[in-house]
Amino acid sequence: MQTAPIILFVYKRPTHTEKVLTALAENILADASELYIFCDGPKDNAPSGDIENIVKTREIIKKKKWCKNVYISESSVNKGLATSVIDGVTEVVNKYGKVIVLEDDIIPSKYFLQFMNDALNIYQHDEKVLSIGAFNFFATDSEVGETFFIPIPDCWGWATWKDQWALFEPNPQKLLDKLRQCSLIEKFNLYGAYNFEKMLIDQIRGNISSWAIRWQAVAYLYNKLTLYPKFSVTKNIGFDSEGTHGGDDKYSNVIRFATHRIKVEKIPVQERPEITKRMMQGYFKVTQPQRKTKIKAQIKRKLFFILPPVLASIYRKFRPSKLVRLQWQGNYQTWEEAKEATGGYNDPNIFEITRKAVLKVKKGEAKGERDSVLFEEVQQVWPVTAHLLKIILENNGRLRIIDFGGSLGSSYFQNRAMIPANVILSWNVVEQDEYVKIGNAEIADNQLHFFSSINQAYEQSQADTILLSSVLQYLEKPYEFLDEILNYGFTNIIIDRTAFIDGPQDLITAQTVPESIYKASYPAWFFCYDHFKSFIKKHYEIIHEFNSEIDTPINLDNQIPAYWKGFILKRTV
């Protein structure tokens, strides 16, 4: 077996470096491996103690022949770890096509090199695999196989290939912009388990210098996975007074260090979501246990913003205890074909549950509601609210709006606190007959009204604005519907929470709701972003385009990244 070269990055920790090299030399494949050691240089005006430790570190790496061959690069200036890693990995991986990476505080197991080389060879031609990880503190029980895949790449002992490393993007601003454009921020942040977005922002501002946060962003943007072992083949000793991480070591007591060779066999390259969930729980436990309850609530709350009207109310009834995840599958040729493959949804209690929730908001007993779910704080969509206020200013204090698929007035109650009391307001919800009946009987007031069709609402209100929130993707013929909307001549169209892909054409999928909420499935569109924009630009100017506040993960069969956006449109002709 041709072994991958090893890179070790060192600086000014002689004791740590010697421990790492000693453990590495005990690896079974050490005598068959090339070792590249990159030594960072002193900072400007470095104290004498740092200079002394840099010298000692360089003496130690030359002390023995730790591997088959050892190549040493000594920098005369301080490059910093991030730059050292980026430059060093690029240099070696471009030469050999693959590489194994360690830092001076990462102790490898005796079986580290075997695992890394086995995995590199088995998955070298699989484009879905970004890297191989070594450190596992979150999934070691009997239900876990010898290896598994999750989205987050490792930085405490890892390996990759030339073609995967070529995806690395050094510009953190580009990464952040793309993550936000693709509505991946919440997933990137592990749904609140750790604020990786802040790390990326700190990288942009120069507060930190991290190659790993950029590598992780690449993994999410390209929908890549990393292979991990059941038993950790590295451990971090960098939590002492000399360590980069500082503070207490919260990981060593929860890892199971490999005491035997990890058996690497080809397995399906797909995420194990239950293990990803354990990883999130692991972060809760070791980094911020006090936030666990709060974050779980945030995870559940985000779900409701992606469900079609009335369905999220079922969640409130059953209150699942596990992290929920919507799924989209298939690439159906027609809507009817997707409809035949799905079961729909129906619950006789939906209307009653929604009615009670909305009445609480109307009476001031709750701040906000979405599909029967009550919120402690109003869930404001600021681009929408801001444009409603702009319309009011342009129309001399008047707002006449049709809210298509607006349930029992969720968006009305969501925005009414921001609308001045002296505004002449006509908010007209178009919904199913059952909603219209309940709405007009118990919810309607002198500003809020309910209708069974757009035509009825328009004739009554002469509205010049229509709101389409999380509705277009659930219509069988969305473009015909949009043509109908155009015929009314609305001055303003507000589109929010609508699903898109960057593919060449629209995609019809079957959306499935986890049984922990309710056994339900139904057709759902993902619109081709470019085609959709071209269609609406025929008669409307795009005043503003924004990322909807939805980061719920999706699971498309074809792995096309999908995201949710909103548009503010102004009629041009």
Evaluate whether residue 387 is within a structural domain. yes
Evaluate whether residue 194 is within a structural domain. no
Tell me: do 399 and 260 sit in the same domain: no
Q: Return the exposure string of 422-437: e unless at least 16 CB atoms fall within 10 Å of the residue's CB, then b.
A: ebebbbbbbbeeebbe
How many domains is the chain built from? 2
Element (H, E) at 99: strand 98-103
Tell me: do 94 and 40 sit in the same domain: yes
Tell me: do 560 and 494 sit in the same domain: yes
Tell me: do 48 and 149 sit in the same domain: yes
Evaluate whether residue 212 is within a structural domain. no
Tell me: do 37 and 152 sit in the same domain: yes
Residues 568 and 492 sit within 8 Å (Cβ to Cβ): yes
Tell me: do 262 and 394 sit in the same domain: no
Evaluate whether residue 293 is within a structural domain. no
Q: What is the pLDDT along the chain (573 residues), one digit of tens a residue?
A: 689 999 999 999 999 999 999 999 999 999 999 999 999 999 999 999 999 999 999 999 999 999 999 999 999 999 999 999 999 999 999 999 999 999 999 999 999 999 999 999 999 999 999 999 999 877 777 778 899 999 999 999 999 999 999 999 999 999 998 998 888 988 888 776 677 888 898 888 788 889 999 999 999 999 999 999 999 999 998 865 454 444 445 566 667 888 889 999 999 999 988 888 777 766 555 554 444 334 344 434 343 344 444 333 333 333 333 333 457 778 888 999 888 888 765 444 555 656 676 677 666 665 555 544 555 555 668 899 999 999 999 999 999 999 998 888 888 888 888 999 999 999 999 998 888 988 898 889 999 999 999 999 999 999 999 999 989 999 999 999 998 888 888 999 999 989 998 878 899 988 876 554 445 678 999 999 999 999 998 889 999 999 875 545 454 655 677 888 999 999 886
Q: Which candidate, 89, 205, 522, places its Cα nearest to that of 342?
A: 522
pTM of the entire predicted model: 0.53
Give the separation between CA 119 and CA 99, rounded to whole angstroms: 12
Tell me: do 267 and 373 sit in the same domain: no
Tell me: do 47 and 107 sit in the same domain: yes
Evaluate whether residue 316 is within a structural domain. no
Tell me: do 229 and 353 sit in the same domain: no
Evaluate whether residue 197 is within a structural domain. no
Tell me: do 102 and 241 sit in the same domain: yes
Task: Tell me the CATH number at 528.
Answer: 3.40.50.150
Burial class from Cβ neighbours inside 10 Å (0-12, 13-18, 19+) for residue 240 reads middle
Tokens standing for residue 26: 């005990």
Evaluate whether residue 315 is within a structural domain. no
Tell me: do 367 and 257 sit in the same domain: no
Evaluate whether residue 47 is within a structural domain. yes
Tokens standing for residue 156: 């405490």
Domain enclosing residue 463, as ranges: 328-571
Tell me: do 283 and 333 sit in the same domain: no
Give the separation between CA 120 and CA 113, rounded to whole angstroms: 10
Task: Tell me the CATH number at 234.
Answer: 3.90.550.10
